[in-house]
């Protein structure tokens, strides 16, 4: 058996996969993201480790005994300042954090040639600007740190006792040279960021360490088994879907949402509305259009009205398209390339409206934001007929139908409850020698089903989307 661990923003998911590619069991455990000041987003990394142990305790004993290798996937862009002993010296600063606006502006003043090698527009929440903020505002803590790790790399350190990184997460830090395919030493020198903070990079499908006796005891599995380097969650999802070559586009909805597709070059988006990052294979990249306010906004709406996910999504079936004229703009945190000023809002609300109108409008607002992201991807000459769904935020049938109508695309779902964790497990299989190559692992694709097609509301949603764009504050 192979274990995939997916460290998300609000929960960790562990999946046990057999060598035929079938996922035998999935368990999850949640933790909180805090915002100690407006625009900040943090989590205590110890909560990740405690949740991982809790999720592992939810797996069947026979599965735990059979685990032979581990792979990791995780949320991108964040910074975990880590001491020599592996402990975090402060809470992790996450991808949704918006404190580093001045530091992102400092990036934009870099030489044009250096910016070209970074291939992506500078934005808050990414590791480079975050490290600059720490250098200015928490220099003592930065000096105490031995490493600045990505979230899943910190978790792997707890498993193996060894600090390593890998290219998919590294490429999303604004500290990665896309020409040299490694850490951007010139940028680090220009910004006066210590290069020794950054860990050695190993390939995603290579062994990055072995499970220590202490970690094995806490997780209830064998010590000494190989732990693969793993991948950023979006890159791991591509592996979990068997998407190793250009063509398919994967739509993932979790706390944030991403549309991703593989490409053979790292050509930057001249409009700076999409991103390009490294896949798990050298010489391959993927384009990504993303929004930060997806599940983040819907979870907030649910808490605000005291409703669960089922009731929230049920409003999609009970209220007609357009929510009786109510519009929702989901920008609780600032987006990176558009909507850079945070501020969520409903508009058009009157005495005739009830709770369900506002709930339905919330779903429509997130769907419209996704359509805006899809249009950014289409501007780079990527226009899919279908979208492959991934992530816990894509499972409700009413939500799927609304997405098909708003996006105007057929939606396909892979028969796997944990695409990113499955991708991590497949990487573990290659690292442990269970599969000879990634191509061999991609042949273990789960069944893909057509789950939604644009329906009767599709034309109406096209009209409503144009109105929403005009009203967007």
Q: CA nearest 421: which of 56, 45, 79, 32?
A: 56
Matching residue, tokens 């599995």: 221
Q: Decide if 124 is inside a domain.
A: yes
> Catalytic residue positions?
233
Query: Rounded distance, CA 163 to CA 148, Å?
Result: 10
Position 64 in a domain = yes
Is 36 contained in some domain?
yes
Q: What is the CATH number of the domain that holds 98?
A: 3.30.420.40
Distances (CA, A) of 229 to 18, 344, 418: 19, 37, 18
Is 49 inside any structural domain?
Answer: yes
Q: Please compute the mean of the pLDDT values over residues 351-366 and round it to a whole number.
A: 95
d(CA 163, CA 157): 5
Give the global pTM: 0.89
C-alpha to C-alpha distance for 374 and 407, rounded to whole angstroms: 8
Based on the structure, what is the number of domains in the chain? 1
The answer to whether residue 296 sits within a structural domain is no
Euclidean distance between CA atoms 6 and 17, whole angstroms = 13
Contact 422, 23 (CB under 8 A): yes
Residue 306: what pLDDT?
A: 95
Structure tokens at 201: 């990079």
Q: How sure is the predictor about 443, in pLDDT bands with cuts at 50, 70 and 90?
A: low
Residue 364: pLDDT above 80?
Answer: yes
**pLDDT tens sequence across 112-162:** 999 999 999 999 999 999 999 999 999 999 999 999 999 999 999 999 999
pLDDT computed for residue 205 by the predictor? 97
pLDDT beyond 70 at 247: yes
Pairing of strands 226-228, 250-253: unpaired
Phi, psi for residue 3 in degrees, rounded to 5 = -110, 125
Q: Which domain holds residue 53?
A: 2-234
Band of pLDDT at residue 392, cut at 50, 70 and 90: low
Q: Is residue 193 part of a domain?
A: yes
Give a yes or no: residue 451 inside a domain: no
Structure tokens at 384: 């899919």
Close Cβ partners of 18 (under 8 Å, ≥ 6 residues apart): 1, 2, 24
Classified as helix, coil or strand, 27 is strand
| Token pair of 38 as six digits | 């407006």
Nearest to 408 by CA among 356, 351, 460, 332: 460
- Do residues 75 and 35 touch, judged by C-beta distance below 8 A? no
Nearest to 100 by CA among 427, 409, 333, 447: 333
């Amino acid at each position: 058996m192979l274990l995939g661990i997916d460290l998300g923003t609000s929960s960790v998911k562990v999946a046990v996969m057999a060598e035929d590619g079938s996922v035998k069991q999935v368990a999850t455990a949640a933790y909180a993201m805090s915002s100690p000041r407006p625009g900040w987003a943090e989590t205590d990394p110890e909560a990740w480790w405690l949740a991982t142990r809790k999720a592992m305790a939810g797996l069947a004993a026979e599965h735990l005994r059979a685990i032979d290798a581990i792979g990791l996937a995780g949320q991108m862009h964040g910074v975990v300042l880590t001491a020599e002993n592996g402990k975090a010296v402060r809470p992790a600063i996450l991808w949704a954090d918006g404190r580093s606006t001045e530091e992102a502006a400092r990036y934009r003043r870099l030489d044009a040639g250096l910016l070209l090698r970074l291939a992506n527009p500078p934005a808050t929440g990414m590791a480079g600007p975050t490290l600059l903020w720490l250098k200015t505002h928490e220099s003592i803590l930065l000096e105490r740190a031995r490493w600045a790790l990505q979230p899943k790399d910190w978790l792997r350190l707890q498993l193996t006792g060894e600090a390593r990184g890998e290219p998919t997460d590294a490429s999303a830090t604004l500290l990665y040279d896309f020409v040299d395919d490694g850490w951007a030493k010139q940028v680090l020198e220009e910004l006066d960021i210590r290069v020794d903070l950054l860990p050695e990079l190993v390939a995603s499908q290579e062994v990055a360490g072995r499970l220590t006796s202490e970690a094995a005891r806490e997780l209830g599995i064998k010590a000494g088994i190989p732990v693969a380097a793993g991948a950023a969650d979006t890159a791991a999802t591509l592996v979990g879907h068997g998407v190793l070559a250009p063509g398919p586009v994967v739509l993932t909805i979790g706390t944030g949402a991403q549309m991703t597709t593989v490409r053979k070059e790292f050509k930057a988006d001249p409009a700076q509305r999409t991103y390009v990052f490294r896949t798990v294979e050298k010489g391959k990249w993927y384009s990504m259009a993303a929004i930060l306010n997806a599940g983040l906004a819907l979870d907030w709406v649910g808490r605000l009205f005291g409703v669960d996910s089922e009731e929230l999504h049920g409003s999609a079936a009970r209220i007609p398209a357009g929510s009786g004229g109510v519009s929702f703009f989901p920008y609780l945190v600032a987006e990176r390339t558009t909507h850079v000023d945070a501020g969520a809002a409903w508009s058009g609300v009157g005495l005739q409206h009830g709770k369900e109108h506002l709930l339905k409008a919330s779903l429509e607002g997130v769907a419209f934001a996704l359509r805006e992201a899809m249009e950014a991807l289409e501007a780079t000459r990527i226009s899919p007929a279908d979208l492959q769904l991934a992530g816990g935020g894509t499972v409700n049938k009413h939500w799927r139908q609304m997405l098909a109508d708003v996006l105007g695309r057929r939606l396909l779902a892979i028969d796997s409850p944990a695409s990113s964790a499955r991708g991590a497990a497949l990487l573990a299989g290659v690292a442990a020698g269970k599969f000879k190559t990634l191509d061999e692992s991609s042949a273990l694709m789960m069944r893909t089903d057509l789950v939604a097609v644009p329906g009767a509301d599709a034309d109406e949603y096209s009209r409503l989307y144009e109105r929403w764009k005009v009203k967007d504050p």
